[in-house]
Chain A
Amino acid sequence: MTYGLCNLIGRGRVAGLGLLAAAALAVTPAAAADYPERDITMIIPFGAGGGSDTLARTIAGVIEEMKLIPVKILPENRTGGSGAIGYSAVAKEKGNPHYLATVSVSFFTTPLLGGSPVSYKDFTPLAAIAQSPYIMVVPSSSEYQKLDDLKKTPRFTTGTTGVVSDAALLAKMTSNALGIQIDSVPFDGEGEVMAALLGGHVNVGFLNPSEAMTQMTAGKLRPLAITSAERSPAFPDIPTFKELGYGDIVHTQLRGLVMPADVPQEVVTYWEGVLEKVATSEQWKKQYIDRFYDVPDYVDAEGFKDVLERTNARYETMMKDLGLIQ
Chain B
Amino acid sequence: METLALLWDGILAATDPGIFACTILGAVVGLLIGALPGLGPTAGVAIMLPVAAGFGGVAAIACLGGVYYGSMFGGAITSILLGIPGDAPSVMTVLDGYPMAQKGEAGRALGTSVFASFVGGLLGIAGLVALSVPVSGYALAFGPTEMTAMMCFALSLLSVLGGRNVFKGFVALALGFWLGMVGLDPISALPRYTAGSMNLFDGLDFSIVAVGLFGLAAIFMSLEVNVDKPVAKYTFASLLPRISDAVRTRWQLLQGSVLGFFVGVLPGVGASAATMLSYALAKRISATPEKYGTGIVEGVAAPEAANNSASYGAMIPLFTLGIPGSATTAVMMGGLIMIGLQPGPMLFTENPEFVWSVFGSFALGNLALVFLTLLLTPLLAAALFIPTAYLYPIVIAIVVYGVFAIDNSAFNVMLTIVAGGAGIILARLDYPAVPLILGLVLGPLLERNIRRTLIQSQGDLLVFIERPIALGLFIATLLVLLIPLFLKLMGRKMIAADEAEV
- Direct contact between A and B judged by beta carbons closer than 8 A: yes
Interface positions of A (Cβ within 8 A of B): 47-50, 53-54, 57, 77-82, 84-85, 88, 110, 113-117, 157, 162-164, 183-192, 194-196, 198-202, 210, 213-215, 217-220, 291, 319, 322, 324
Q: Is there a chain A Cβ closer than 8 Å to B49's Cβ?
A: yes
Q: Is the CB of B334 within 8 A of A80?
A: no
CB within 8 Å for A191 and B455 given contacts A49-B331, A117-B198, A196-B143: no
Q: Is the CB of B330 within 8 A of A48?
A: no
Give the number of chain B interface residues (Cβ < 8 Å).
Answer: 57
Partner of A186, one of B186, B323, B332: B186
Cα-based distance from A68 to B475 in the complex (angstroms): 65
Contact with A along B422-454 (1 / 0, CB 8 A): 000000000000000000000000001000100
Q: Is the CB of B46 within 8 A of A80?
A: no
Can you list 27 contacts pairing A with B, beta carbon distance less than 8 Å? A47-B42, A47-B46, A48-B46, A49-B49, A49-B331, A49-B332, A54-B338, A85-B409, A116-B198, A116-B201, A157-B456, A164-B189, A184-B455, A189-B268, A195-B267, A195-B321, A195-B325, A196-B144, A198-B140, A198-B321, A199-B139, A199-B142, A201-B144, A202-B456, A210-B337, A214-B342, A220-B345
Q: Tell me the minimal C-beta distance from A248 to chain B in angstroms.
A: 24
CB within 8 Å for A81 and B201 given contacts A188-B268, A188-B448, A199-B142: yes
Q: Is the CB of B191 within 8 A of A50?
A: no
- Which chain A residue has the least Cβ–Cβ distance from B186? A186
**Chain B residues closer than 8 Å to A200, beta-carbon distance:** 140, 143
Cα-based distance from A186 to B317 in the complex (angstroms): 20
Q: Is the CB of A49 within 8 A of B144?
A: no
List 19 other contacts, CB 8 Å, given A53-B334, A195-B321: A47-B331, A48-B49, A49-B334, A50-B331, A50-B334, A80-B202, A82-B184, A110-B201, A115-B184, A116-B198, A163-B189, A183-B456, A185-B456, A189-B268, A189-B330, A214-B322, A215-B344, A291-B337, A324-B190
Q: Tell me the minimal C-beta distance from B411 to chain A in angstroms.
A: 9
**Chain B residues closer than 8 Å to A199, beta-carbon distance:** 139-143
Q: Ordered nearest first, which 5 A-B pairs have the shortest CB separation?
A: A201-B143, A218-B345, A214-B344, A49-B331, A199-B140
- Which chain A residue has the least Cβ–Cβ distance from B325? A191
Q: Tell me the minimal C-beta distance from A303 to chain B in angstroms.
A: 29
Cα-based distance from A184 to B337 in the complex (angstroms): 28
**Chain B residues closer than 8 Å to A47, beta-carbon distance:** 42, 46, 331
Q: Is there a chain A Cβ closer than 8 Å to B367's Cβ?
A: no
**Chain B residues closer than 8 Å to A324, beta-carbon distance:** 188-190
State which residues 112-162 of B face A: CB under 8 Å.
139-145
Partner of A113, one of B46, B184, B338, B458: B184
**Chain A residues closer than 8 Å to B143, beta-carbon distance:** 196, 199-201
- Which chain B residue has the least Cβ–Cβ distance from A292? B337
CB within 8 Å for A163 and B456 given contacts A49-B45, A81-B198, A110-B201: no
- Which chain A residue has the least Cβ–Cβ distance from B191? A115
Partner of B323, one of A114, A184, A198: A198
- Which chain B residue has the least Cβ–Cβ distance from A109? B189
- Which chain A residue has the least Cβ–Cβ distance from B349? A218
Cα-based distance from A307 to B334 in the complex (angstroms): 28
**Chain B residues closer than 8 Å to A48, beta-carbon distance:** 46-47, 49-50, 331
Q: Tell me the minimal C-beta distance from B453 to chain A in angstroms.
A: 9
**Chain A residues closer than 8 Å to B42, beta-carbon distance:** 47
Q: Is the CB of B190 within 8 A of A191?
A: no
Q: Tell me the minimal C-beta distance from A225 to chain B in angstroms.
A: 22
Q: Is the CB of B268 within 8 A of A115?
A: no
- Which chain A residue has the least Cβ–Cβ distance from B42? A47
Q: Is the CB of A215 within 8 A of B322?
A: yes
Q: Tell me the minimal C-beta distance from A218 to chain B in angstroms.
A: 3
- Which chain A residue has the least Cβ–Cβ distance from B330? A191
Cα-based distance from A115 to B452 in the complex (angstroms): 23
Cα-based distance from A189 to B330 in the complex (angstroms): 9
CB within 8 Å for A88 and B198 given contacts A49-B331, A113-B184: yes
Q: Tell me the minimal C-beta distance from A195 to chain B in angstroms.
A: 4
Q: Tell me the minimal C-beta distance from B254 to chain A in angstroms.
A: 28
Q: Tell me the minimal C-beta distance from A224 to chain B in angstroms.
A: 20
- Which chain B residue has the least Cβ–Cβ distance from A181? B458
Cα-based distance from A156 to B423 in the complex (angstroms): 47
State which residues 252-309 of B face A: CB under 8 Å.
267-268
Cα-based distance from A78 to B202 in the complex (angstroms): 13
- Which chain B residue has the least Cβ–Cβ distance from A219? B345
Q: Is the CB of B201 within 8 A of A115?
A: yes
Q: Is the CB of B317 within 8 A of A195?
A: yes
Q: Is there a chain A Cβ closer than 8 Å to B222's Cβ?
A: no
Cα-based distance from A50 to B327 in the complex (angstroms): 10
Cα-based distance from A266 to B251 in the complex (angstroms): 71
Residue with the highest number of chain B CB atoms closer than 10 Å, among A80, A183, A194, A200: A80
Q: Is there a chain A Cβ closer than 8 Å to B343's Cβ?
A: yes
Q: Is there a chain A Cβ closer than 8 Å to B226's Cβ?
A: no
Q: Is the CB of A188 within 8 A of B186?
A: yes
- Which chain B residue has the least Cβ–Cβ distance from A211? B322
Q: Tell me the minimal C-beta distance from B241 to chain A in angstroms.
A: 35
CB within 8 Å for A81 and B202 given contacts A54-B334, A113-B184: yes
Q: Tell me the minimal C-beta distance from B231 to chain A in angstroms.
A: 39
Cα-based distance from A78 to B317 in the complex (angstroms): 29
**Chain B residues closer than 8 Å to A186, beta-carbon distance:** 186-187, 452
- Which chain B residue has the least Cβ–Cβ distance from A323? B188
Q: Tell me the minimal C-beta distance from A33 to chain B in angstroms.
A: 34
**Chain A residues closer than 8 Å to B199, beta-carbon distance:** 80-81, 85
Cα-based distance from A61 to B152 in the complex (angstroms): 48
Q: Is there a chain A Cβ closer than 8 Å to B90's Cβ?
A: no
Residue with the highest number of chain B CB atoms closer than 10 Å, among A184, A186, A213, A217: A186
- Which chain B residue has the least Cβ–Cβ distance from A319? B189
Q: Is there a chain A Cβ closer than 8 Å to B408's Cβ?
A: yes
Cα-based distance from A292 to B452 in the complex (angstroms): 29
Q: Is there a chain A Cβ closer than 8 Å to B346's Cβ?
A: yes
**Chain B residues closer than 8 Å to A217, beta-carbon distance:** 342, 344, 346
Partner of A80, one of B325, B330, B409: B409
State which residues 319-359 of B face A: CB under 8 Å.
321-327, 329-332, 334-335, 337-338, 340, 342-346
Cα-based distance from A219 to B331 in the complex (angstroms): 25
Q: Tell me the minimal C-beta distance from A109 to chain B in angstroms.
A: 8
Q: Is there a chain A Cβ closer than 8 Å to B499's Cβ?
A: no
Cα-based distance from A200 to B141 in the complex (angstroms): 8
Q: Tell me the minimal C-beta distance from A61 to chain B in angstroms.
A: 10
**Chain B residues closer than 8 Å to A215, beta-carbon distance:** 322, 344-345
Contact with A along B179-201 (1 / 0, CB 8 A): 00000101111110010001101
Q: Is the CB of B324 within 8 A of A189?
A: yes
**Chain B residues closer than 8 Å to A78, beta-carbon distance:** 408
Partner of B337, one of A54, A196, A220: A54
Q: Is there a chain A Cβ closer than 8 Å to B16's Cβ?
A: no
Q: Is the CB of B330 within 8 A of A50?
A: yes
**Chain B residues closer than 8 Å to A116, beta-carbon distance:** 198, 201
**Chain B residues closer than 8 Å to A81, beta-carbon distance:** 198-199, 201-202
Q: Is the CB of A49 within 8 A of B46?
A: yes
Q: Is the CB of B321 within 8 A of A115?
A: no
